[in-house]
Amino acid sequence: MTKKDFEHICNSISSISPFIRFVGVIGDRGELLAYKRRVDLVPLLNEKNTHFQFSHIAMKTDLEGFFDKNLGEVEFVWEERKKVQTISFAIKKSRVWVSIDKKVIRSEMLRVIDSCLPIVKKHS
């Protein structure tokens, strides 16, 4: 896939909901391949911690591969944290990582997930 493909994924997903804070495509070594951040948003993580977060996602993705044969491949992971909710989707060896405002109700989260899945599957 090309950088333009990754940018298209970020733009498509970020337009799903006004509650989406950030969409990034993270490579298998934790590198940020493309991203889209909501305008006028103050990031919750500084540059160093963002790098650690993306490295963590890459390591987790690699480890999850050990269970794919028995459990099937990961389609998405939804995390609820005190300040933000995140969803990550697998595209081959990359991850699409989406952060969403904490205040969003679960039905909106499910709508976002259901809207993201066809975009991600198209590129998988």
Two structure tokens written together for 53:
């977060």
- Mean pLDDT, range 77-92, rounded to an integer: 90
What gap in Å lies between CA 84 and CA 103, rounded to an integer? Answer: 8
Confidence at 6, pLDDT banded by 50, 70, 90: very high
Q: What is the pLDDT at residue 39?
A: 86
Instruction: State in words which class domain 3-123 has.
Output: alpha beta
Q: What is the pLDDT at residue 91?
A: 87
Three-class SS of residue 55? helix
Confidence at 119, pLDDT banded by 50, 70, 90: very high
15-32 per-position pLDDT tens digit: 999 999 999 998 888 888
Confidence at 96, pLDDT banded by 50, 70, 90: very high
34-79 per-position pLDDT tens digit: 999 988 887 776 677 677 676 666 667 666 766 777 888 888 889 8
Q: What is the pLDDT at residue 21?
A: 94
- Domain ranges (residues) in the chain: 3-123
Q: What is the pLDDT at residue 42?
A: 79
Query: In sequence order, what are the residues at sequence separation of 6 or more whose Cβ sits closer than 8 angstroms to the Cβ of residue 86?
Result: 78, 79, 97, 98, 99, 100
Q: What is the pLDDT at residue 61?
A: 67
